[in-house]
Amino acid sequence: MQRILITGGAGFLGSHLCERLLEQGHEVLCVDNFYTGRRQNVAHLVDNPRFELMRHDVTFPLYVEVDAIYNLACPASPVHYQFDPVQTTKTSVHGAINMLGLAKRVRARILQASTSEVYGDPEVHPQREEYWGRVNPIGPRSCYDEGKRCAETLFFDYFRQHALDIKVARIFNTYGPRMHPNDGRVVSNFIVQALQGKDITIFGDGNQTRSFCYVDDLIEAMIRLMGTEKGFTGPVNIGNPGEFTIRQLAELVIELTGAKSKLISMPLPTDDPKQRQPDIGLARSKLQWEPKVPLVEGLKRTIAYFAALLK
């Protein structure tokens, strides 16, 4: 049994991770400032004596005693991370410094939830870990992309300078139950719009692509990465290589919900990446992992969640 700190633990991915680590018998300290996360995501865990929920902003120092840290704190949806971009950069950069400082003091293993956004709008396809990316440093997405890139830099400098035991996961678009209904990301937007009989908002021509990973698959990979030997740092791409256009996703959601929604066009946000697909060769060989849940199956489960929530 380990004492594990999860920052951003009341968010979408964090809440699933808390649940899985508790199931494995660990003690979980969930730290969150509830910026995009919700208490109700972890409400079913608070009676567990091995679970503790703490309101705290990771841009401020945190002194606790733990064996391992998963650093997930950061708004992930473009709508939310662009709402207060300075706070987004602070969360990624100051948050990483504080969590790395904590890991250094208590000699804890620490995993960073990084992102496919470090590849920006890529000119290499699919994206492998060796690719350095094509990121605009001064655009509206930069607070997130550059914040996450700087966090990776900090992780690798603490690894080289202080021999810290780090792991970096580059997470590609992940979806599933407990996404916030107003999260703003494409899967939750389309499902909520379809279930409410509203038009489905396609940004741009809808030919841009994304690769969607179901949350259970993602959590399994993160836990496996955390379990690799000391010295294996990653970065490791984690995602589902199945690549779909946004229009295909909209059509699938309409089909699975039986909605009568129309597709309507909205302006494409600035610097919206045109295509994204992970090369998961490293995750396959190193973690003996690959995603198991196909998009149709994962969408069905996510639709069922939102249908119950919106009732």
Which residues form the interface with ligand UDP (CB under 6 A)? 61-63, 77-78, 97-98, 101-102, 104-105, 173, 185-186, 189, 201-203, 208, 210, 246, 269, 272
Contact between 181 and 309 under an 8 Å Cβ cutoff? The reply is yes
Residue number, 108 or 222, with CB nearest to ligand NAD? 222
Three-state SS for the chain is: CCEEEEECCCCHHHHHHHHHHHHCCCEEEEEECCCCCCHHHCHHHCCCCCEEEEECCCCCCCCCCCCEEEECCCCCCHHHHCCCHHHHHHHHHHHHHHHHHHHHHHCCEEEEEEEHHHHECCCCCCECCCCCCECCCCCCCHHHHHHHHHHHHHHHHHHHHHCCCEEEEEECCEECCCCCCCCCCHHHHHHHHHHCCCCEEEECCCCCEEECEEHHHHHHHHHHHHCCCCCCCCCEEECCCCEEEHHHHHHHHHHHHCCCCCEEEECCCCCCCCCCCECCHHHHHHHCCCCCCCHHHHHHHHHHHHHHHHC
Q: Is residue 4 involved in binding ligand NAD (CB under 6 A)?
A: no
Among 4, 5, 6, 12, binds ligand NAD (CB under 6 A): 12
Strand ranges of the sheet holding 51-55, from the earlier edge strand across to the other edge: 51-55, 27-32, 3-7, 68-71, 109-115, 166-171, 236-238
Provide the minimum distance between the beta carbon of 122 and ligand NAD in the complex, in angstroms, as a whole number: 15
Q: Of 35, 70, 81, 144, which one is the catalytic site residue?
A: 144
Binds 287: which of ligand NAD, ligand UDP, none (CB < 5-8 Å by kind): none
- Pick 101 or 128: Cβ nearer ligand UDP: 101
Give how many residues touch ligand NAD by CB under 6 A. Answer: 28
Residue 256 CB, nearest approach to ligand UDP (Å): 17
Amino acid in position 3: R
188 near ligand NAD, judged by CB under 6 A: no
Q: Which of 82, 98, 174, 193 binds ligand NAD (CB under 6 A)?
A: 174
Q: Which does 234 bind (CB under 5 to 8 A by kind): ligand NAD, ligand UDP, none?
A: none
Given candidates 72, 99, 135, 202, which one binds ligand NAD under the rule CB under 6 A? 72
144 is catalytic: yes
Site string for ligand NAD, 92-121 (x = CB under 6 A): ---x-----------------x-x------
| Contact string 18-57 vs ligand NAD (x = CB under 6 A) | --------------xxxxxx-------------------x
The residue (of 259 and 283) whose beta carbon lies closer to ligand NAD is: 283
298 touching ligand NAD, by CB under 6 A: no
Question: Is 37 in contact with 13 (CB distance < 8 Å)?
Answer: no
Give the nearest distance from C-beta 92 to ligand NAD in angstroms: 8
Which residues form the catalytic set?
A: 144
Q: Which residues bind ligand NAD (CB under 6 A)?
A: 7-8, 10-14, 32-37, 57-59, 72-76, 91, 95, 113, 115, 171, 173-174
